[in-house]
């Protein structure tokens, strides 16, 4: 009985590994999103206010 579960587990792991390998081989680079093309010439600067009781709290 124990070896049956071992073979089932091994089969599931093999199927998942094969699916991952196929997905990795078929993957293509993502196309560039048009919104971010406007930021190629200069750096994109983002800031946040910060959490409560964290410094600095007066940033943009």
Name residues of the chain where pLDDT drops below 70.
47-60
Helix (H, G, I), strand (E, B) or coil at 55: coil
Is-contact 50 59, C-beta < 8 A? yes
Say what the pLDDT of residue 22 is.
98
Q: What is the pLDDT of residue 1?
A: 75
Residue 39 has a pLDDT of 76
Q: Is 24 exposed, middle or buried (0-12, 13-18, 19+ CB in 10 A)?
A: exposed
Q: How far, in Å, CA of 18 to CA of 13, rounded? A: 9
Q: What is the pLDDT of residue 4?
A: 92
Confidence (pLDDT) at 17 = 98
């Amino acid at each position: 009985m124990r070896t049956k579960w071992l073979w089932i587990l091994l089969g599931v792991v093999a199927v998942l590994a094969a699916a991952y390998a196929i997905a990795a081989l078929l993957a293509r680079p993502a196309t560039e999103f048009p919104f971010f093309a406007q930021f190629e010439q200069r750096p994109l600067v983002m800031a946040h206010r910060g959490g409560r009781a964290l410094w600095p709290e007066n940033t943009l």
